[in-house]
Structure 1
Amino acid sequence: MSLSPLCDWDDAFANMKHVKDSAELPDFWAARAAGYRADLTRGGHRLDLDIAYGSHPREKFDIVWPDGTPKGLAVFIHGGYWMRLEKAHWTDFAEGARAKGWAVCVPSYTLAPEARIHEITAQIGQAISTAAGLVDGPIRLSGHSAGGHLVTRMLCSDSPLSGSVSERIAHTLSISGLHDLRPLMHTGMNRTLNLDLEEARAESAVLAQPAAAAPLTCWVGGGERPEFIRQARLLSDMWTGLDVPVRCEIDGNHNHFTILEGLKQPGSPITTAFVGPVPQEGP
């Protein structure tokens, strides 16, 4: 005998249903990102596309390079519930970090149902490790929605990252991240994700022991679905006291999609959370 869920979990995770004209967004993102890549090329800025980090066709990342020696490596992991979208939708969101001097890596990964979530976690670990071999200095991680899940999994005691790569992580920014995957078992999406309780528990950062003391920020829009606000607060609450500097930032009235727009601006609060403030010049 199975118990019925206590709420409508499909609705709880249905971002597009609650944002007007959101069905048009994937095509809009793809076109805008393509225009940004074209602008970079015309402007003489370095952009390396489709660097392989594995043998699968989707195991590739792009790097958007700054003008000069990079301060370090910034990684942005896209969302889409582990089953939609790809790196080419998001290139323009690298601009804020690029303008502040960071090399920005944007990977794709194999989508469900071809890959289980734990396999995607391992892929992202390999992507970060490969990119870390190309860019010296500190590493700052960011991911949106399912990408927020994937970057926080890099911080857990069973992280796929080696110790030498983990030690370089200076900060992690989970934007509207999913940190407790168990409720997803009650959604129609699970016909694609194929989560069972064992994997949902193992892939939930809220149930994990953090492995490193690098700071973590859980960033979420105040106009998002309540479940995403709960998930941001939950990880912050669970990891407080576990030797990780962690904070939760609820950003205005942003929804699940507008929350990302500030990443294109070097001076925005969310870009500052991602890669840090611009260093102040001395007198």
Structure 2
Amino acid sequence: MTELYRGMDQTALRAAYDNVAAVADAAACMLGFQTRSAELYESVTCRRDIAYGPRPRQRFDWLPCGNAEAPLFVFIHGGYWQARSKEDFAFVASGPLGCGFNVVLAEYTLAPEATMTQIVGEIGTLLDALAADTHGLGTRAPVCLAGHSAGGQLSALYRAHESVVHALPVSALVDLEPIAMSWLNDKLQLTPQEIAAYSPMRHSGHGVPMTIAVGTAELPELVRHSQEYAAACERAGEQVRFVPLAGRNHFTILDDLAEPDGVQMRAVMAAMQR
């Protein structure tokens, strides 16, 4: 056995980060997400596929709650930076919409077409466009920046953006070192410079207050990421609340986010009201 990371060889490392294999009904969960997302698009007012850049996936959906003065909830989907789309996870917008947020569902270019540096840059471009309200939608509003899994890493990286007032990394991958050692790096091809620059764990200070959520039934490595990141931010003097969701796995944690009265939205509302 060749140890690569924390006593794990390549086989163990794969198992430690394979969320699909870890959840018996993962395929059914994703199909349910897609069905619910299609239903949400049909049931709410929205503008879809608004471009914020020249590349095909540099686009976002705008779902207004009906209050032009409302804060903005920006959600970045997961998929290990190389899979999925905003359309797969649009159903989560029902949670923030029900809490009085206008919602943006963000899309970005996936690896290997884009490097990690380019992906991170695209999220910055999107946030800048929203802050400038370049589309005339009324997006000059305080932002709660949320993301799931890979999207959680992207949300944590932009805690210091001028428009962001709260961050919600959900099941976030905040240390890229083990990612670079695993099969996940086949498409990402992370460089040492990217691992250092884009691992939120290594940049735990200087950002807005944050709610860090993870399911207690997730893979131990995913739980560790969130626990250690929350602890690092606390040591750095940052305002952070660690929110473990009992019995939730990497997929069912999004069911909670889609509920206006769910654990995560209640935590966000309480934090933002303070």
TM-score w.r.t. length of structure 2 = 0.90
CA contact (8 A) 2:166 2:272 kept: no
Aligned to 1:130: 129
* Residues 1:225 and 2:225 aligned together: no
Partner of 1:43: none
* Per-residue deviation, 1:109: 0.4
Residues 105 and 131 in structure 1, CA contact (< 8 A), matched pair in contact too: no
Higher mean displacement: 218-227 or 238-247: 238-247
Give the match for residue 235 of structure 2: 241
Q: Residue deviations 1:55-97, cap 9 Å, x none?
A: 0000000011102334211101100000001111122211111
TM-superposed CA distance for 1:204, in Å, is 0.5
Task: Write the letter of the residue equivalent to 2:221.
Answer: E
- Answer yes or no: is 1:145 the counterpart of 2:140: no
Q: Which residue of 1 aligns with 2:166?
A: 171
Report whether the alignment pairs 1:205 with 2:200: yes
Report 1:22-41 matches (<5 A): 22-40=26-44
Mean alpha-carbon deviation: is it higher for 89-98 or for 203-212?
203-212
Check whether the contact 2:78–2:149 (CA below 8 A) recurs between aligned residues: yes
Report deviation, 1:277.
7.8
- Tell me, in whole angstroms, the C-alpha distance in 1 between the residues paired with 2:35 and 2:69: 27
Structure-to-structure mapping, 1:85-104, within 5 angstroms: 85-104=84-103
Larger displacement relative to structure 2 (244-253 or 103-112): 244-253
- In structure 1, how many angstroms separate the alpha carbons of the residues matched to 2:36 and 2:173? 26
C-alpha contact 2:85 2:107 (8 A) present in aligned 1: yes
Report how many residues are paired: 263
Q: Distance in 2 between matches of 1:210 and 1:84?
A: 30
Partner of 1:161: none
- TM-fit CA distance, 1:23: 2.5
Of 237-246 and 257-266, more deviation after overlay is shown by 237-246
SS of the aligned residue for 2:175 comes to coil
Q: Which residue of 2 aligns with 1:260?
A: 254
Aligned 8 A contact 1:173 1:219 in 2: yes
Give the share of equivalent positions with the same residue, in percent. 32
The question of 1:271 aligning with 2:265 is answered yes
Q: Give the TM-score, by structure 1 length.
A: 0.87
Say which SS state the counterpart of residue 241 (structure 2) adopts.
strand
Cα offsets for 1:140-168 (capped at 9, x unmatched): 11100000000001126xxxxxxxxx333
Give me the whole-angstrom Cα distance separating, in 1, the residues matched to 2:268 and 2:146.
7
> Does the 8 Å contact 2:72/2:144 carry over to 1?
yes
8 A contact 1:179–1:231 mirrored in 2? yes
Provide the rounded CA distance (Å) in 2 between the counterparts of 1:198 and 1:70. Answer: 40
Whole-angstrom distance in 1 between the partners of 2:87 and 2:123: 16
Return the offset for 1:3: 6.2
What's the secondary structure of 1:253's corresponding residue? coil
**Residue identity in the other structure for 2:108:** Y
Q: Deviations over 1:28-77 (max 9, x none)?
A: 3222211111122xxxxx21111101000000000111023342111011
What is the Cα deviation at residue 247 of structure 1?
Answer: 2.2
Q: How does 1:172-187 map to 2 (within 5 A)?
A: 172-187=167-182
8 Å Cα contact 1:109-1:120 kept in structure 2: yes
What 5-or-longer segments of structure 2 have no aligned partner? Answer: none
Q: CA RMSD in A?
A: 1.9
**2:241 alignment partner AA:** R
C-alpha separation between the residues in 2 aligned to 1:227 and 1:234?
Answer: 10
CA contact (8 A) 1:10 1:186 kept: no
Superposition deviation, residue 13 in structure 1: 0.5
Instruction: Please give the alpha-carbon distance, in whole angstroms, between the structure 1 residues aligned to 2:103 and 2:4.
Output: 44
Distance in 2 (CA, whole Å) between partners of 1:31 and 1:57 is 24
Counterpart of 1:80 in 2: which secondary structure?
coil
The 3-state SS of whatever aligns with 2:235 is: coil
Structure 1 unaligned regions, length at least 5: 41-45, 157-165
Deviations 1:181-235, CA, capped at 9 Å, x for gaps: 10112211111111132211211011125333x2112110000000011000111
Deviations 1:90-131 (A, max 9, x none): 222111111222110001100001111121111011112222
